[in-house]
Amino acid sequence: QVQLVESGGGLVQPGGSLRLSCLFSGSLFSIYAMGWYRQAPGKQRELVATMPGGGSIHYADSVKGRFTISRDNAKKTVTLQMNSLKPEDTAVYYCYARLNGVYWGQGTQVAVSS
């Protein structure tokens, strides 16, 4: 059974930074594809960044150059470093894990506002 717990959301001013973390509970973390989606009010959930167990990282065009995804297989964590935040980055951010099925965290709120 896989469980994901996100942390690190909050309120930040435009131009600021936040670091989201996702703790994975379960086995075989290193071969799971991990990533982050987000959902803004009234909008569909959209991919932010994905990091396969062994492969190239993909970012949404809207976050390229500002966000960085990384993983620590020893600690079973995946991290999203978000810099130069914009008001349009405001959303609930969800961690996901995919292997034979897809698992989701409960989400963490990110609000970018002055």
pLDDT score at 53 = 78
pLDDT of 1 above 90: no
Instruction: State the pairing for strand pair 58-59/108-112.
Output: unpaired
pLDDT score at 19 = 98
pLDDT tens digits, 26-81: 999 989 999 999 999 999 999 999 998 777 899 999 999 999 999 999 999 999 99
pLDDT score at 52 = 87
Partners of 5 in the β-ladder:
23
